[in-house]
């Protein structure tokens, strides 16, 4: 039975972990290597790091903290933010990251997905999608630059295209739900999971135990959360024990 994953997400700004609501009002939450090491011990299956201002500041992800994290972490970790070229992939993978998440650069240059998959393998190419429901309620569009620019591209169609180009995983964030703790956007998660043949990580909106189960039930392969875990409102083990009781296969 395929085990489902529970993944803490660490937003990084200027080499520090931060957390806000709907991508604003950021608060400092610690050193990336220390925070991720604590999650490793707490039972996380993987950790995702997003350098949230790299794209909008037009710079690459800083490599020093990636190297520091790799030296202290014994579970897979993904790095995203400011990655534009296969050389950026190479540099970060060389520092010890297991997977690379691309969002804005993949939208602007979809060939980056296929080039990276060819060079490094699909398994390390994660396409991150920030999706927001259209004002008329009919589906979702994708945004670039950390949720700042509406690309007017359908989120489900973009996910399918990214996979056809070689993406090995989709990291799907609902901008409407992000930071609200009102639950994942299960409708969005289900639509994308049904449209692609690779794992989908649901992100944005976890607030209680049942929310994790709900996202996995509609087709997510992994559930991601940030503030809930950062501020100890829920422990990773607690989430996994709850899921196991509900019949979900997890690694305890």
- Model confidence pLDDT, tens digit, residues 18-41: 876 555 567 777 889 999 999 999
Task: Collapse the DSSP code of 191 into the 3-class scheme (helix H, G, I; strand E, B; otherwise coil) and give the result.
Answer: helix
pLDDT (tens digit per residue) in 66-96: 999 999 999 999 999 889 999 999 999 999 9
pLDDT digits 0-9 by tens, 174-232: 999 998 999 999 999 999 999 999 999 999 999 999 999 999 999 999 999 988 998 88
Task: Please tell me the distance from the alpha carbon of residue 62 to that of residue 54, in angstroms, as a whole number.
Answer: 9
CB-count exposure of residue 196 (10 Å: 0-12, 13-18, 19+): buried
pLDDT of residue 52: 78
Domains of the chain in sequence order: 5-245 (3.20.20.70)
Which residue among the candidates 130, 185, 214, 221 is catalytic per the annotation?
A: 130
Annotated catalytic, 31? Answer: no
What pTM does this model have?
0.93
Average pLDDT estimate for 242-250: 98
pLDDT grade for 59, boundaries at 50, 70 and 90: low
Q: Which residues contact 38 (CB under 8 A, 6 or more apart)?
A: none
Rounded to the nearest integer, the mean pLDDT of the chain is: 92
Residue 62 pLDDT: 76
Beta strands 125-133; 169-174: pairing state: parallel
pLDDT of residue 230: 83
* Predicted confidence (pLDDT) at residue 54 exceeds the cutoff of 70: no
Q: Is 11 a catalytic residue?
A: yes
- Confidence band (pLDDT; 50, 70, 90) for 109? very high
The per-residue pLDDT for 55 is 60
pLDDT tens-digit readout, 116-172? 999 999 999 999 999 999 999 999 999 998 788 999 999 999 999 999 999 999 999
């Amino acid at each position: 039975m395929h085990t489902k994953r529970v993944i803490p997400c660490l937003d990084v700004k200027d080499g520090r972990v931060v957390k806000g609501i709907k991508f604003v009002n950021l608060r400092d939450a610690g050193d990336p290597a220390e925070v991720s090491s604590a999650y490793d011990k707490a039972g996380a299956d993987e950790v995702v790091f997003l350098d949230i201002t790299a794209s909008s500041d037009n710079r690459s992800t800083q490599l020093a903290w990636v190297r520091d994290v790799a030296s202290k972490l014994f579970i897979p970790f993904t790095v995203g933010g400011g990655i534009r070229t296969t050389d950026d992939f190479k540099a970060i993978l060389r520092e010890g990251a297991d997977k690379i998440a691309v969002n804005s650069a993949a939208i602007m240059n979809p060939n980056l997905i296929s080039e990276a998959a060819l060079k490094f393998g699909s398994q390390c190419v994660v396409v991150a999608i920030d999706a927001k429901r259209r004002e008329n309620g009919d589906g979702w569009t994708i945004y670039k630059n950390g949720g700042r620019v509406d690309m007017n591209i359908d989120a489900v169609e973009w996910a399918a295209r990214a996979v056809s180009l070689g993406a090995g995983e989709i990291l799907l964030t609902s901008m409407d739900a992000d930071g609200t703790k009102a639950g994942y956007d299960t409708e969005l998660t289900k639509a994308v999971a049904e449209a692609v043949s690779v794992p989908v990580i649901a992100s944005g909106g976890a607030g209680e135990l049942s929310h994790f189960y709900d996202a996995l039930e509609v087709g997510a392969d992994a559930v991601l959360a940030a503030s809930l875990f950062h501020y100890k409102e829920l422990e990773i083990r607690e989430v996994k024990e709850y899921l196991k009781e509900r019949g979900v296969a997890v690694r305890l």
